[in-house]
Amino acid sequence: MNRNFTIVAALVIVAASVTGGVRSRASRRYVANSNATAAASEKYEADRIEADYREAISTVEDKYAGEIDYEKATQAAIQGMLFTLDPHSVYFPAAEFKKLKEDQSSSFYGIGVQIRRHDDGVYVESVVENTPASRSGLRAGDRIVDVDGKDARDWSSEEVSKNVRGDRLRPVNIKVERAGEQVALNFKIIRDAVPLPSIRNAFMINSGTGYIGLTGGFQHTTDDELRDAITNLKKDGARQLVLDLRNNPGGLLDQAIDVASEFLPRDKVIVSVKGRSEYREPAVYKSNGSDPEDIPLVVLINRNTASASEIVAGAIQDHGRGLIVGETSFGKGLVQHVFQLPFGFGLTLTTARYYTPYGRSLQRDYSSGSLYDYYVRHDEDENLTPTQPGQPSPSETINQTRGSNAPAFRTAAGRVFYGGGGITPDIEARSLTITPARGRIIEAAFQFTRHLAAGQIAGLESYRVEKVDYDHSPKTTDYAINDRVLEAFRAYVRKEQSQKLQVAQIDSDLDFVKLRLRQEIVTAAYGADAGQRVLLESDPQALRAINVLPDAKRLAESVRNGTPVSLNFKSIRPTPASILLPLYEEPDEWLI
């Protein structure tokens, strides 16, 4: 380890020297009379940095009183250097770099379950069809208590993931606690490929409207998945489309270009990229499709829509191809390349910036404030009235102002947008607000449904789930949440004081309670996709998107015909986006 530390530390020194050189060269571009003195000064500065760094390493090794974790020290040194550049240049230890490459390949080796940390441990949220876990008999609601002989009861979801994922065809031993079983159950599961698709859900949300949930990043298969989803939805009668990019963190640039090309005429600019080396002159990427889809389109975004997904949304918005509905996106306009280092380490380094077709940079300012402030935006409003499930979100036409220094860009149909700070939606729409009380309802509903699906609730034995039927599309009559179920839930909450939920809170928010209970039992019976469908059919943002599809059609037609467009939406007071979580977003959720 000491040798590895020295080698990687040397890499840090070289990288630091290169960084210094970059800054010096950047400065020299603005100095007309640069000469050999400047070059010598630059070399002296690089040598001094290297000498200081080696002296610091030597001092720590010789004088530090405790044990030195060389690997952790190396990681901190590299990441500290990268943090001085920008928030998206990141160092990856070997295990995390391996996961990054797996995520980009659209599959990984594991067992095939979605897990999430609850109050008392990590639980199986759902089991993926045709995976080792589904064949072995793991079920939604199982609590993971042991992995390969190691006590997992206090682990985070990330720790469970690290210990369960592994090499293909190698076994992993998992012990779970299951509702209705007196003793823990042991499973020996052989790891295999687990699909990690970009499109997590695609279905008809009503008789003429298709929904595509492109929420899993942009990977090597993203455009192929999108094309297949559109084809299947059109066969089912889709005449208009909602494309959901909420919580999509981005990914591969070429896939973002291909996805946007599915909707834009050939040779329309999608994005331009400019950087220091290969992008010194702007690289302009245009749509490459010969027969793009022309059905009315609405794109859903939120504050976790970032990078490649912002490229798609920006291209659709700039060209007036569809309407953007939701919340202002994250604001990541930096391009990273992935570099592999020795010993399996890696890093992503910002090498360029991208711009929308009409020249907007979407990157938020990161020059001041902490990384926490950059990634987590706060704008608390304790008087916010929670939105209700099953009702279209209130919305408003956004006043596109970003401050006096924000450049304005006139786009298709004469619409004006401003650069900086992400994609501002054409129509702001509030998601389902998750209040603290609703968070406790979600937790209680999950725990209650574990017992309900196990047939352990007296009088509701018909809700027992024997086997997951992945091919079933849930109907409103399936696992109805009637008065008997609600009363049983109240009784469960009264008995389980650890839930920290009062019956009065249930009765004051019954629509939300019914939604969460039904989502949990449908997930247990028909799988995660069916459960997500239950949520989406009551999602205020999705319902608002459906409502404005006729306006999206009028906008696209106006752009094609070169005629003026006037879209009037009901105006209300803006709602802070920071405490509005997407309806289906759950914290600490992992696929393993």
Q: Which range is least confidently modeled, 10-14, 139-143, 406-410, 489-493?
A: 10-14
Residue 378 has pLDDT above 50, yes or no: no
Q: Write down the pLDDT at residue 313.
A: 97
Stretch 418-436: mean pLDDT: 88
Average pLDDT over residues 363-381: 66
Count of residues in the chain: 592
Taking the C-alpha atoms of residue 321 and residue 344, their distance in angstroms, rounded to an integer, is: 43
Question: At residue 57, does pLDDT exceed 80?
Answer: yes
Does the pLDDT value for residue 546 go beyond 50? Answer: yes
Helices (H), 123-248: 132-136, 157-164, 222-235
> Per-residue pLDDT averaged across 259-278, rounded?
90
pLDDT band (50, 70, 90) for residue 388 = confident
How far is residue 519 from each of residues 6, 342, 446, 450, measured CA to CA in Å?
Answer: 53, 46, 9, 12
Residue 12 and residue 56 in contact, taking contact as beta carbons nearer than 8 Å: no
Q: Dihedral of CA 382/383/384/389: which sign?
A: positive
The encoded tokens of residue 167 equal 């090499």
Q: How confident is the model over 215-226, as a mean pLDDT?
A: 93
pLDDT number for residue 584: 33
Q: What is the largest CA-CA distance in the chain?
A: 89
pLDDT of residue 28: 35
CA 13 to CA 131: how far, in whole Å? Answer: 45
Query: Average of pLDDT values for 182-203?
Result: 93
Tens of pLDDT along 154-185? 999 999 999 999 999 999 999 999 999 999 99
Confidence of residue 199 (pLDDT cuts 50, 70, 90): very high
Tokens 């010096």 belong to: 24
pLDDT exceeds cutoff 70 at 11: no
Average pLDDT for residues 531-540, to the nearest whole number? Answer: 92
Arithmetic mean of pLDDT, 33-51:
73
Whether residue 3 has pLDDT greater than 90: no
Query: What's the mean pLDDT when you consider all of the chain?
Result: 84
- Where is pLDDT greater, at 394 or 78? 78
Question: 307, 329, 431, 538: which one is catalytic?
Answer: 307
pLDDT at 561: 86
**CA 83 – CA 74 distance, rounded (Å):** 14
Hey, which of 10-19, 40-49, 483-492 has the most confident mean pLDDT?
Answer: 483-492
The verdict on whether 307 is a catalytic residue reads yes
Q: Is 162 a catalytic residue?
A: no
Is residue 247 pLDDT above 60, yes or no?
Answer: yes
Structure tokens at 516: 């969460």
Beta bridge partners of 298: 242, 323
pLDDT tens string 283-318? 899 998 778 999 999 999 999 999 999 999 999 999
Share of the chain above pLDDT 90, in %: 53
Asked if the model's pLDDT at residue 40 lies above 70, the reply is: yes
Neighbouring residues of 181: CB distance < 8 A, sequence distance ≥ 6: none
465 closest CA partner among 207, 178, 79, 91: 178
| Cα distance between residue 24 and residue 121, in whole Å | 52
Mean pLDDT of 384-389: 74
Please tell me the predicted confidence (pLDDT) of residue 279.
Answer: 55
292 or 405, higher pLDDT: 292
**3-class DSSP state for residue 591?**
strand
Whole-number Å distance between alpha carbons of 50 and 435: 52
Give Rg (Cα) of the chain: 26
Is 260 in contact with 316 (CB distance < 8 Å)?
Answer: yes
Alpha-carbon distances of 35 from 7, 41, 42, 49, rounded to whole Å: 34, 10, 11, 22
- Burial of 306: CB neighbours in 10 Å, binned 0-12, 13-18, 19+: buried
- Is 332 among the residues known to form the active site? yes
Instruction: List phi, psi (to 5°) of 272.
Output: -120, 145
Least confident of 141-155, 224-238, 404-418, 471-485: 404-418
- Domains of the chain from N-terminus onward: 2-84 (no CATH), 107-195 (2.30.42.10), 199-432+570-591 (3.90.226.10), 436-537 (no CATH)
- In this structure, what DSSP letter does residue 105 have? T
Q: What is the pTM of this model?
A: 0.82
Flag whether pLDDT at 113 surpasses 90.
yes
pLDDT tens profile 561-583 = 888 776 665 432 333 333 223 33
3-17, 94-108, 234-248, 511-525: least confident range: 3-17
Q: Which of the residues 192, 318, 426, 529 is marked catalytic?
A: 318
In which element (H, E) is residue 476 found? Answer: none
Is the confidence at residue 525, as pLDDT, over 90?
yes
User: How does pLDDT run across 309-346, given as a tens digit for each residue?
Assistant: 999 999 999 999 999 999 999 999 888 888 888 878 88
Contact 326, 301 (CB under 8 A): yes
What pLDDT is recorded for position 575? 32
Confidence band of 383 (pLDDT split at 50, 70, 90) = very low
Judged against a pLDDT cut of 50, whether residue 132 lies above it is answered with: yes
